Structure 1
Amino acid sequence: MLMRLAAERATGALLRDQGTLYLVEGRVVHAESPAAPGIDVLLTVGGALPPQGWQEALSLAGTRNEVGQQLIDSGRVTAGELEVCHIGALFDAAFFVLGPASGPTRFRYGVAHWLGRVRPVAAEALERETRRRRALLDSVWPCPELDTSPVVARRPAPGQTVTGRQDALLRLADGIRTPTAIAWALGRPSFHTLIEVRRLAAAGLVEAPRAPELALPALPAPASVPDDCSEPDVALLRRVRDALEATL
């Protein structure tokens, strides 16, 4: 349907279970999804714009569908800052909107978004980028359950280090928040957070909480281990275990 609407140069809103794409003359000008922080969250929580500045622009220009231009004219953000943030939010939300859905797909002609036109994206480019992102996720760590499950941090293995961005994510991996909830809390795109969570899972640093396991019978005492035996690679053992469980 998206390709057909693009060929028709349609203007309006394409509605699916996971969000909405807004088109102007067949090109996508904005995307929204409950699974992805909006441009308002990326700008305000991310620190580029005070929350009161966003609310002011929304109040002054929301009904005219010119919030983006109002932010630029007021000097709150530069045109370049708005464009980069807008493109990031658009591709992020579209990744979820164009994902598998069980409900109907509808199009409402003539509907416009309150942000206004910033930088339209061709439907073909959006579809191509969505496919690339799905393949990228699976190449990092083929465990899609992590994308929608609460995640919990693991203790790093001896000598294992994390970046500052990863540390901020791990602090919120409390077994209650999903990757999407963590993205909202940090003011980051959801897809980038999914990628980071899968990388951390591949490194043995994050996992979905497990149900309590049944007690197992005691095993025989192991044979003695030589004193010069090297320390096991805990992160590697975790990755092997997770990969085996994923195939069962």
Structure 2
Amino acid sequence: MITQILTSRTDEPASAQLATLAERSASGALSTEAGIVYLAAGHVVHVESAHAPALGDLLTHSGALAPDGWWEAIDRAGRRCRVGRQLVDSGHLAAGALELCHLGALFDAAYFVLAHDGPALRFRPGVAHWLGAVRSVPVDTVLRESRRRRELLHRIWPEPAVDRAPLARIEDAGSADLPARRSRILAQVDGVRTAAQIATTLACRTFHTLVELRRLAAAGMVAPADPVAPAAGPADSVAPAAPSAPAASVVPGAPPAPGAPVMSPAPAAGSPVPVPVFPDEPETALLRRLLHALEAL
């Protein structure tokens, strides 16, 4: 069956489109306003969102991987789309550590992509992510976990703007007797940083950062910062452009041979890389339990 290619905004929510693509065992990249979901044979293999830290940032900021090791893997394997495999084979990172970090980054980004379940903008068959074969996750697992996170955060504090906006501390709000993690997160709230930037700075999982920030908001200690008014000028009269889908990058130059996956290009230093991903049925629940156990230490 030929998978439909979405070239413009539709009324179908991204979650419904993902379910359809899973039924068709589709491979490619589904773009939404909040990010891109990469599929291989109907499984989610990676998710990217500007609202969640990238895998490379999490690995290097946490000290699990030296920046030189990350860029070495990109230089050696980016064009061949085997960055994840290169990290493991070179001894820079254990396979289990890569899988756990990848799974955490995938679910964190998926929360933002699916948080408001807006319309899917475009599906590009054959487009593969740069990281390579790490772990694939069934679509229904991703949808269920995103829904669970959304409901949990809503119970803590029902204002979702805390998740994406720059955050500011509330004057005269006390901060004594806070748990250590919440206190560290509060110290990073400066009126400029977003939740994702705070998570990157502290090398923390984004979702756990969101939980603490919503608790701080519920306690009256943080709130979205007041937006800075743009300077008036001639450009103010120009109508804003309609939002477009995030671009799923492809290999520059000649098109690939028929049936070959389209890959994102190897990034320049300072940004992440592209690799096709082939599904590997995961023990997803076990990996999630291990991940949560490690974070609780």
Per the shorter chain, which TM-score range?
Answer: 0.7 to 0.9
Aligned to 2:79: 63
Match of 1:246 in 2: none
Percent of pairs with identical residues: 49
Q: Which amino acid aligns with 2:189?
A: A
CA contact (8 A) 1:16 1:101 kept: no
* Aligned-residue offset at 1:46: 1.4
Q: Do structure 1's residue 143 and structure 2's residue 159 form an aligned pair?
A: yes
For the 8 Å contact 2:51–2:164, the answer to whether it is kept is: no
Give 2:217's aligned residue: 201
User: Which runs of 5 or more residues in structure 1 are unaligned?
Assistant: 212-248
- Provide, for residues 206-228 of structure 1, a one-character-per-residue CA deviation record: whole Å limited to 9, x for no partner: 233469xxxxxxxxxxxxxxxxx
- Matching residue of 1:7: 23
Q: In the aligned structure 2, how far is the partner of 1:29 from the partner of 1:209?
A: 35
SS of the counterpart of 1:31? strand
> 1:205 Cα deviation (Å)?
3.0
State the shift of 1:148 in Å.
Answer: 2.7
Are positions 1:118 and 2:134 aligned together? yes
Per the alignment, residue 190 of structure 2 pairs with 174
SS of 1:129's partner is helix
Q: What's the offset of the Cα at 1:203?
A: 2.9
Q: 1:37 touches 1:188 (CA, 8 Å); kept in 2?
A: no
Kept in 1: contact 2:28–2:40 (CA 8 A): yes
For residue 206 of structure 1, what is the amino acid of its counterpart? V
Residue 38 to residue 209, structure 1, CA distance change in 2 (3 Å): closer
Alignment of 1:29-178 (within 5 A): 29-100=45-116, 104-154=120-170, 157=174, 160-178=176-194
The CA distance in 2 between the partners of 1:147 and 1:112, in whole Å, is 28
Shift of 1:24: 0.8
Structure 1 residue aligned with 2:276: none
Aligned residues: 210
Q: Normalising by structure 1, report the TM-score.
A: 0.78
Does the CA-based 8 Å contact 2:38-2:46 persist in structure 1? yes
Q: Mapping of 1:10-25 within 5 angstroms?
A: 10-25=26-41
Tell whether the 8 Å contact from 1:9 to 1:24 is kept in structure 2 after alignment: yes
3-state SS, counterpart of residue 76 of structure 1: coil
Inter-CA distance 74–203: structure 2 relative to 1 (3 Å threshold): same
Q: Which of the pair has the greater relative contact order for Cα pairs under 8 Å at 6+ separation?
A: 2
**Structure 1 runs, 4 residues or longer, greater than 6 Å off:** none
One-letter amino acid of the counterpart of residue 183, structure 1? A
Higher helix share: 1
Q: Which has the larger radius of gyration?
A: 1
**Cα RMSD between the aligned structures?**
2.0
TM-score by length of 2: 0.66
User: Residue 8 of structure 1 aligns to which amino acid in structure 2?
Assistant: R
Q: Any conservation in 2 of the 1:22–1:29 contact (CA below 8 Å)?
A: yes
Q: Structure 2: which amino acid aligns with 1:182?
A: I
CA distance in 2, matches of 1:186, 1:176: 15
